[in-house]
Amino acid sequence: MALLPILRFPDVRLKKVAVPVSKIDDGIRKLVADMAETMYEAPGIGLAATQVDVHKQIVVIDITEEKNDLRVFINPRLDQCTGSQEGEEGCLSVPGIYDKVERAEFVTVHYLDLDGKTQSLQADGLLAVCIQHELDHLNGKVFVDHLSQLKQTRIRNKLAKQARVTA
């Protein structure tokens, strides 16, 4: 396994829409393992392949404190999104930035597992938020895209300043 570099907002590659995975093979399984290791090391609770500059529809999520319940979603699609919840979100591609985002409270997601079997999952709470957040990445969106233009500009400026300080 290997740690993968995580793209940082406003990198234009984060805007690229991911393509479906046509075949789940050893290369995809290695990518999933590397993504999981990268997510845990960061540390984070979700990571989309887009964030590591691989534009395939793959997401890994583990919302447990113990980091022992890795969920893998290949070619995921949301079916039902109901209710509404607002919560503070952060993102490994937007380090140190958190803001409130409104999301559906309940979602149903259909996807392939690592064995290529079709699965369906109903989720609520943090898992529902995480699924929506990561699927946004596959569609070329970052959570800050849900914020006002003013907030987006402030975030870009703050991250640019941080990059200058650490360079």
**Can you give the residue ranges of every domain in the chain?**
12-166
Superfamily of domain 12-166: Peptide deformylase (3.90.45.10)
Return the pLDDT at 24: 98
Give the C-alpha separation, 47 to 40, whole Å: 9
* pLDDT surpasses 70 at 167: no
What's the helix, strand, coil split of the chain in %, to 5? 35, 30, 35
- The confidence band for 159, taking pLDDT boundaries of 50, 70 and 90, is confident
What's the order of all strands across the beta sheet hosting 46-48?
46-48, 58-61, 71-82, 106-112, 118-124
**How does the average pLDDT of the chain come out, rounded?**
96
Summarize the confidence of residues 124-141 as an average pLDDT: 98
Please say if the pLDDT value at position 163 is more than 90: no
- The pLDDT-based confidence of 166 (bands split at 50, 70, 90) is confident
What is the arithmetic mean of pLDDT over 100-109? 97
Cα 126 from Cα 142, distance rounded (Å):
17
Give the pTM: 0.95
H helices within 15-148, ranges in order?
26-41, 125-138
pLDDT at 82 exceeding the cut of 80: yes
Note if 37 is an active site residue.
no
Check residue 160 and give its pLDDT.
85
The whole-angstrom separation of Cα 73 and Cα 164 is 36
Closest C-alpha among 53, 131, 138, 144 to residue 94? 144
